Chains A and B, each alone.
Chain A
Amino acid sequence: MTNFQVPVWGYWMMGLGFAAFIGLLIAYIRKNRGFRRPIFASPYMLWLVIFTVIPCFLVAYFSFTDPQGNFTLDNFKSFWDSNFNARKAMSPEDLALYESMGLSLDDLGLGRDSINIDTLVFSLWMAFLCTVICLLLGYPAAHIMADREFKLGPTLVILFVVPMWMNFLLRTIALMSLLEDNGLINNVLEWIGVGRQKLLNNIAAVQAGMVYNFLPFMVFPIYNVLNKMDYKLSEAAMDLGCDKWHVFYKVTLPLSVPGVVSGITMVFMPAVTTFYISRLLGGGKVQLFGDLIEAKFLSTSLNEWNVGSALSLLMMILILLSLGLLNKVDPEGEGGGMI
């Protein structure tokens, strides 16, 4: 089915990795004369090596090779110009033939195509919008939930957590049926006299799906920070002359920055790599960078795994950079946890 073959040295690598792992394990047991606590982490370590570390190396390997396994940077060039590999695959004779027929590369659909970059930029924009909307919705929600005087706070927390126990795909499909032409929302709209609207298969629907799925990741880090905050600090601020607004602006907000930073990262990162939500709610009209990568790996044509790997690698670098940024602002990771 697939054109992919693990290179011979790939088997060697996996074998060596496994042997090294077992060797380390034995050495460790010997050194400690018996089983100690870290031993119990070994099944997970094995899992990590097989399903995380090795695939990461494979992605890197594919990014820098062509289907024959030779080193190349063409996959990254394909990021700038999606037709790069296709053009390269054409023989000079064919090119000359087409030229003699008066057809340019553009006519053949092989001209420079920036769809990869455009999609990445669009994905970044969608993720940015999603983060902003989540922040605007999530901060007040977290603030209310953490309010000592608001008795329904704990109930709200549960209401936010429970939907997360459902599979995200299921939630998205549920949202899809809500937004359908004959869905609940349209029925209500017609009933109140607004008339049926086209709610599905557009950018707004995709954005709604992203916000719906990622909102809890914004709410909980902020809620955690606000909930742990000493309420005496607000009282001290009031005592020193702050009205309610100044208490928020001068004390609560600055102290909740770690939670906000955590929330932004936890929403932005999955939002940039979103796929499937866009397919379900965008009806194939909205393509995000995640969809692009997915399509590369599902494609049967030559080179695509390699190009897909290169795109993934670029994505990973982007995420690592934002993680680094997070660690700078919130070194203790105060905002994390809970989920």
Chain B
Amino acid sequence: MEEQRLISLENISKHYDGVTVLDNINLYIRKKEFVTLLGPSGCGKTTTLRIIGGFETADSGRVMFDSKDISGIPPYKRRVNTVFQKYALFPHLNVQDNIAFGLKLKKMPKDEIARKVDYMLDLVNLKGYHKRSVESLSGGQQQRIAIARALVNEPEVLLLDEPLGALDLKLRKEMQLELKAMQQRLGITFLYVTHDQEEALTMSDTIVVMQGGRILQIGTPKSIYDEPQNAFVANFIGESNIFPGVMVRDELVHFCGVDFPCVDSGFGEDKPVDVVIRPEDILLVGEDVGQVTGVIKSVLFKGVHYEMMIDAGHSIWKVHSTTMQPEGSRVGLAVVPFNIHIMHPMEDEKPTEEKAQ
């Protein structure tokens, strides 16, 4: 698999005025992969992107591109292009000249430039917009031009810095699908930065969850969602119930005062753990057959499902269900062993290099 690695970050660290922004980042990106850096603002995801783009240099560590160290190479010599957060289109140039900007610098023949610009405008569904001023375009259209301007240079890697952040929800969802389709059609590696977990889950082949300048977990959307490494990832990706518990022995965990059978093992005996259960995995059953019983404290209608908060004495459970139980009624809660996920507590978090696929 080594030869497939297009970009590798090796032990990258970065500090601003004594504050650690990136703390020993190790990451590799394969050819044609759609990788998303996901994390809350200030987690270092944009800085990572800027280091790959060449706009910032790491204090230590190496950036390898096709097995060559590119740490000292300026942005204009890197075979990557960037789609900026607020597009950064050139206001003094029209649509056509914006897209042709990179090609003209390469002294490409005029007819070839015209042909490529036409192709890109076609690709981003803006046929015939050649002479329009970029300031007259809507946010979504400017976004497409920014993507076209970057892609026309046929980069090996396209870096996207929260490119959909300024669009409204509906347009954002459309663009997510379009971007993904475009990436698959062109076979270009995408490195995407976002704080929107849903966006990351929808588009990515691989998600890199970052927090506080460190990588917490790398994996496919499914593995990140189903098997979060720790409470932070579980909380950040989707909604979760997280309970402190004790691993009694393999495949048996004790939390909320009850022993639950589970499928995880290898944590040792009587070890403290964090237990995560997704709200949609909790079953509402009769009071007599539930593993835990509780009183429904509140019911919220969320569209597809109801969100119910259930007080089970010493713990509050968040449950998503398509059927509603009235507030104040006593219910039983049950979780099948497969849906109980055991994690190491946050203190000894260890970022893993494991790449599922």
Contacts and interface: CB of A to CB of B under 8 A. Distances in A.
B interface: dominant SS: loop
Contact of B153 (A232, A241, A254): A241
A254 B84 contact: no
Interface residues on B, range: 20 to 34
B326 interface: no
- Give 8 closest A-B pairs by Cβ, nearest first: A240-B102, A232-B88, A236-B88, A241-B105, A238-B75, A239-B82, A254-B92, A241-B76
Interface in B50-105: 53-55, 74-76, 80-82, 84-86, 88-92, 101-102, 105
Interface in A260-302: none
Nearest to A254: B92
B106 interface: yes
B92 A239 contact: no
A259 to B, nearest CB: 13
Given A235-B55, A235-B75, A240 B88 contact: no
Given A238-B74, A243-B76, 9 more contacts: A232-B85, A233-B88, A236-B82, A236-B90, A238-B75, A240-B102, A240-B105, A251-B92, A255-B92
A151 interface: no
Interface residues of A, number: 17
Contacts of A251: 90, 92
A313 interface: no
A255 B91 contact: yes
Given A235-B55, A235-B75, A242 B105 contact: yes
Contacts of A255: 90-92
Contacts of A250: 101, 105
B214 interface: no
B149 interface: yes
B53 A239 contact: yes
A112 interface: no
Nearest to B153: A240
Interface string A219-237: 0000000000010110111
A246 interface: yes
Nearest to A247: B76
A235 B149 contact: no
Given A230-B88, A232-B86, A233-B88, A239 B74 contact: no
B102 A241 contact: yes
Nearest to B93: A254
Interface in B16-63: 53-55
A237 B84 contact: no
A283 to B, nearest CB: 47
Contacts of B149: 240
Given A233-B90, A255-B91, A239 B105 contact: no
